[in-house]
Amino acid sequence: MRVRIPASSANLGPGFDCFGLAWQCWNEIEFIPGGDKLKINGCPERFQNRENLAFRGYLAVLEACGLKEEPLSIEFLKTEIPVSRGLGSSAALIVGGAAAANALHGLGLSRDELLRIATPIEGHPDNIAPALFGGLTVSAMEDGRALTAAFPLSSKLFFTTLIPDFELSTERSRSVLPASVPRADAIFNVSRAALLLKALGTGDGALLGLALQDRLHQPFRTKLIPGFNRVRGLAESLGAAGLCISGAGSTLLCVAMGPDFSREMASAMAADFPGWQVRPILPDVQGVQVF
Ligand code: HSE
């Protein structure tokens, strides 16, 4: 049983812990029941244990359905999603494990049910939902249960990821956030988040620039990303409609109105930011796939 799970960008500026968008950049994992004990191959040794997130996603589904754990081999076949860069690599593993358990044991759980089971492992649904469903999703927690809705995404938008050569753990990136925010900042974000859905749905570049603004997390996180202001300046000078931190960082996500932006940004960054990868990226609309 093979699963293919997309990368994703959470937050998208103002949609902190709620918005997510899946990408055509995948991890592929094989789950083979049998053997004498849990075996995990194809990933660094420190992840070859029961804490492995693919295994935890798998186990969570078995437990939710009252099934007993049996020996299993997990083989990482393809790992395109960079780790600890804000592109949803953890969520992809959890979703991969959950989808594999569902399929291997013929459980027939819906994606909504998998979302509810998988989200507590990650703590928030914003990467789990796009990894499961694909596309642009807005998720919420209600009485401890995750739910999500899909939103349209215009094909007029061109996305570019700027991936630095340093990791940024979600834990570190959340540690710099204030526990409460002024009401004016909350209002600022509510308005931008609602307008962002309109801008992403219609491909309205002028609205995007305004709607990608955020006051809940990005102002505190940019200091964890050396070079942020200069990179943003470059993106703006090349006509990007907007830029935000992808998830908790360290990757930055640019939105442009034409296909040339990625190439121009790559050459603009080459001299001063040689460690950064500048990659055009396409939205994924399928979510997790089981083969
Ligand atoms: N919404 C989360 C954050 C995504 O920004 O901390 C990272 O998992």
Cα(71) to ligand 1 centroid in Å equals 32
- Cβ of 17 closer than 6 Å to ligand 1, yes or no, is yes
Note the pLDDT of residue 60. 98
Q: Which of 28-32, 45-49, 175-179, 275-279 has the lowest mean pLDDT?
A: 45-49
Q: What is the mean pLDDT of the chain?
A: 97
Distances in Å between the Cα of 140 and the Cα atoms of 94, 164, 191, 211, 259 are 18, 30, 17, 20, 33
* Residue in 8, 9, 16, 148 to alter for ligand 1 test, most ligand atoms within 8 A of Cβ: 16
Q: Where are the domains of the chain?
A: 2-151, 158-281
The domain 158-281 is placed in CATH, from the list 2.60.120.10, 3.30.70.890, 3.40.50.300, 3.30.70.20, at 3.30.70.890
Nearest CA to ligand 1 atom 3: 248
User: pLDDT-derived band of residue 236, with 50, 70 and 90 as boundaries?
Assistant: very high
A 10 A CB-CB count for 290 gives: 15
**Sequence-distant (≥ 6) Cβ neighbours of residue 262 within 8 angstroms:** 158, 160, 256, 278, 279, 280
Note the pLDDT of residue 177. 97
Cα(48) to ligand 1 centroid in Å equals 24
- Cβ of 28 closer than 6 Å to ligand 1, yes or no, is no
Note the pLDDT of residue 77. 97
Place of tokens 């989808």: 99
| Architecture of the domain delimited by 2-151 | 2-Layer Sandwich (3.30)
The enclosing H or E element of 160 equals strand 158-163
Note the pLDDT of residue 199. 98
Residue type, 215: R
- Cβ of 10 closer than 6 Å to ligand 1, yes or no, is yes
Cα(170) to ligand 1 centroid in Å equals 6
Question: What average pLDDT does range 58-76 have in this prediction?
Answer: 96
Question: What average pLDDT does range 78-104 have in this prediction?
Answer: 97
- Cβ of 170 closer than 6 Å to ligand 1, yes or no, is yes
Note the pLDDT of residue 139. 98
Torsion of CA 228, 247, 7, 255, to 10 degrees: -50
Mind listing the pLDDT tens digit for each residue in 176-206? 999 999 999 999 999 999 999 999 999 999 9
Query: For ligand 1, what atom is nearest to the CA of residue 18?
Result: 1
User: pLDDT-derived band of residue 223, with 50, 70 and 90 as boundaries?
Assistant: very high
Per DSSP, helices labelled H in 29-122 are 53-64, 89-104, 111-122
Cα(245) to ligand 1 centroid in Å equals 10
Nearest CA to ligand 1 atom 6: 248
Cα(173) to ligand 1 centroid in Å equals 8
- Cβ of 11 closer than 6 Å to ligand 1, yes or no, is yes
Beta partners for residue 138, in sequence order: 19, 149
**Percent of the chain residues topping a pLDDT of 90:** 99
Nearest CA to ligand 1 atom 1: 17
Mind listing the pLDDT tens digit for each residue in 117-159? 999 999 999 999 999 999 999 999 999 999 999 999 999 999 9
Cα(185) to ligand 1 centroid in Å equals 18
* Residue in 94, 95, 127 to alter for ligand 1 test, most ligand atoms within 8 A of Cβ: 127
Note the pLDDT of residue 161. 98
